[in-house]
Chains A and B, each alone.
Chain A
Amino acid sequence: MTTQKHQRNESMQLSSLVRNLKSVRVLLIQPRDEESENLYRHLTRIGCRVQTSWPPPEINDADFDVVCVALRPIMEREASLVWDSSKPPAALVAVIDYENPVIVQAAVELNAHAVIGLPLRNFGTLANLFIALKNFRNDKDQRDQIEKLKRRLSGMRAVSNAKEILMKNKGVSESKAYSMIRDQAMNKRMSVQDVALAIINANEIFQ
């Protein structure tokens, strides 16, 4: 990707974020008090659709775009928040009222995408939502990309193992072995990788 193209792509993402902010679904996990009401009101004012919940509910993929969690109540009231930080279901914004490492560490462990400090200053909330959504999407894109590459890599490894098996058992050349696998894939309407895996499995059974 050229730099210019890259920049255009980034700015498209940003403008779609701005447009979509009006429909961002936010879950606010915080006991009801003055601060949580302020945050609720401000998120609503900037156009988000906000739901509040305490204690923490079960959160499924695609239920929300952003989940804001007040960390100290979770810690002190020993409420259980189920959150897979390696594969989060939404962007996570840590809401903190103390800057002690013990609180900051909790934010780090949850892999927070942004932080909102209390007492709430309206200024900064919007910027933090942006950053959180962007960070979450970047993380997700990278995870997807890594998954795809992992699959491709293991596919390549399978084809190369299958080729070796054919070369040894049938006494054919490498390019002949590959065209045998490819022909089978076309005939059976399977992927080259799947045929390769079938050859490896069959070979294991007969050994």
Chain B
Amino acid sequence: MDGWKVGVLHSQTGCLALAERGPLNGTLMAIEEINAAGGVAGRLIEPVVLDTESDENKSAELVHKLIKEESINVVFGGYTSASRKAMLPVIEKSDSLLFYPIFYEGFELSDNVFYTGACPNQYSVPLSEYLFENYGNRFYLIGSNYVFPRESNRILRDLAVQNGGTIIAEKYVPLEATKDVFKPIIQDIAKLKPDVVISTIVGDGIMDLYSAFQDAGISSDEIPIASMVTSEVEIEKMGHAAAAGHIVAASYFDTIDSPENAKFVSNYKSKFGQNMRTNMCVESAYCQVHLFAHALNITQSIDTKALRAAVLGAQFNAPQGRIRMDVENHHTHLWSRIGQIEKNGNIQIVAETKGAIEPDPYMIHHAAERWQPSLISGVAK
């Protein structure tokens, strides 16, 4: 019997190749697991994997190819918001389904997309709350110059104002930033002495930012960098010394102490290499394949309409804890955690929610009503 054919679109070449290797691996690992257990309804999941080459036009072209030539209607992938936006018209016109695994800036809702990464109410709000409580309220914002950092900073500014804090600077650097770009900004940071620097630098610039910080001799005890983008993968690349002491926020860290995560991490390492680390993108990519398989098991058919209905409300015991696809808004109920990077590169979880938080892609709920300090609680050290 034929398998269930699905598309997998991630960059394997170009400037996003390193970042997208994680979600690609996570997707393939989940498919392998499901197939090893006999597939779904006796049929294996058959991925058609293509390289989007770090180019959103290529993403649009390939998703079209998958749908037209391979008759595929379920696609896993995308990384930047630009790549998602480029695939969207093709996905919507053909009434296919895209599972998008990356945290993003919110303010989108397509009936043809399942968003399994976090949206701002699940990372910006808890992060800013944690920083207010533990570090102070003078924030210095630095980000790559595109939609995600700008929108994310707008939200942080709102949150700061609500809490009587101040944004003392908001700087943007080009996506393909070189180390030189950071020099004047680091000098400015040393001069203004914010309580925290919040970074939404994306891509290779992340490594440059932290090492420029280290070179300038600013210690993370003095001024920590807090980020919802920096993850295990970048920590390994920049080196543990540059990362130590800084703050990260995500729904998933590879240090989560649970049987599900222990199994997930050890499978990942034995499959892709002992020095490879999982992060929030690997985990979301892994989870969304399981959500799909769960729905497929109910429908026994890959028909878009039937699948959509079955994915909405689907639950999964994820490495981060139990997660659920919202029945209304196509985004996922996810956990929120704050971590501090230790000298050995491990992320020590210093605060976490008591369960998955409802996704709120349009931030329709007033932050102050929803985010009581009790929601995110410190973890005993």
Check if A and B associate.
yes
Nearest B residue to A101, CB-CB: B154
Q: With a CB–CB cut-off of 8 A, which chain B residues contact A103?
A: 147, 151
Which one of A76, A98, A102, A105 contacts B81 once the chains associate, using CB atoms below 8 Å?
A98
Known contacts A100-B105, A101-B107; decide if A75 and B88 are in contact (CB<8 Å).
no
Number of interface residues of B (CB under 8 A): 14
| Minimum CB–CB distance for B170 against chain A, Å | 11
Q: With a CB–CB cut-off of 8 A, which chain A residues contact B126?
A: none
Q: With a CB–CB cut-off of 8 A, which chain A residues contact B147?
A: 72, 76, 98, 100, 102-103
Known contacts A97-B85, A119-B88, A119-B89; decide if A102 and B145 are in contact (CB<8 Å).
no
Across the interface, do B85 and A76 meet the contact criterion of CB distance under 8 Å? no
| Minimum CB–CB distance for B252 against chain A, Å | 25
CA distance A130 to B372 in the complex (A): 47
Q: With a CB–CB cut-off of 8 A, which chain B residues contact A76?
A: 145-147
Across the interface, do A100 and B107 meet the contact criterion of CB distance under 8 Å? yes
Across the interface, do A102 and B85 meet the contact criterion of CB distance under 8 Å? no
Q: With a CB–CB cut-off of 8 A, which chain A residues contact B105?
A: 100
| Minimum CB–CB distance for A54 against chain B, Å | 18
Across the interface, do A98 and B88 meet the contact criterion of CB distance under 8 Å? no
Across the interface, do A98 and B107 meet the contact criterion of CB distance under 8 Å? yes
CA distance A141 to B99 in the complex (A): 50
Known contacts A76-B145, A97-B85; decide if A102 and B108 are in contact (CB<8 Å).
no
Interface positions of B from 10 to 34, Cβ below 8 Å from A: none
Across the interface, do B88 and A99 meet the contact criterion of CB distance under 8 Å? no
With an 8 A cutoff between CB atoms, is B106 at the interface? yes
CA distance A103 to B147 in the complex (A): 9
Majority DSSP secondary structure for residues of A touching B: helix
Number of interface residues of A (CB under 8 A): 12
Across the interface, do A99 and B107 meet the contact criterion of CB distance under 8 Å? yes
| Minimum CB–CB distance for A96 against chain B, Å | 11
Q: With a CB–CB cut-off of 8 A, which chain A residues contact B89?
A: 119
Across the interface, do A102 and B146 meet the contact criterion of CB distance under 8 Å? no
With an 8 A cutoff between CB atoms, is B290 at the interface? no
Q: With a CB–CB cut-off of 8 A, which chain B residues contact A101?
A: 107, 151, 154
Known contacts A72-B147, A76-B145, A76-B146; decide if A98 and B85 are in contact (CB<8 Å).
yes
Q: With a CB–CB cut-off of 8 A, which chain B residues contact A97?
A: 85
With an 8 A cutoff between CB atoms, is B150 at the interface? yes
Interface positions of A from 48 to 82, Cβ below 8 Å from B: 72, 75-76
Interface positions of B from 144 to 187, Cβ below 8 Å from A: 145-147, 150-151, 154
| Minimum CB–CB distance for B203 against chain A, Å | 15
CA distance A75 to B147 in the complex (A): 9
CA distance A97 to B88 in the complex (A): 11
| Minimum CB–CB distance for A122 against chain B, Å | 12
Nearest A residue to B93, CB-CB: A119
Q: With a CB–CB cut-off of 8 A, which chain B residues contact A119?
A: 85, 88-89
Across the interface, do A100 and B145 meet the contact criterion of CB distance under 8 Å? no
Q: With a CB–CB cut-off of 8 A, which chain A residues contact B81?
A: 98
Q: With a CB–CB cut-off of 8 A, which chain A residues contact B154?
A: 100-102, 105
CA distance A99 to B106 in the complex (A): 9
As a 0/1 sequence over residues 89 to 111 of chain A, the CB contacts with chain B under 8 angstroms (1 = contact) are: 00000000111111101000000
Q: With a CB–CB cut-off of 8 A, which chain B residues contact A99?
A: 107-108
CA distance A103 to B81 in the complex (A): 14
Specify which of A72, A75, A100, A105 lies most central, judged by the most chain B CB atoms within 10 Å of its CB.
Answer: A100
**Chain A to chain B contacts (Cβ below 8 Å), 15 pairs:** A76-B146, A98-B107, A98-B151, A100-B107, A100-B147, A100-B154, A101-B107, A101-B151, A101-B154, A102-B147, A102-B151, A105-B154, A119-B85, A119-B88, A119-B89
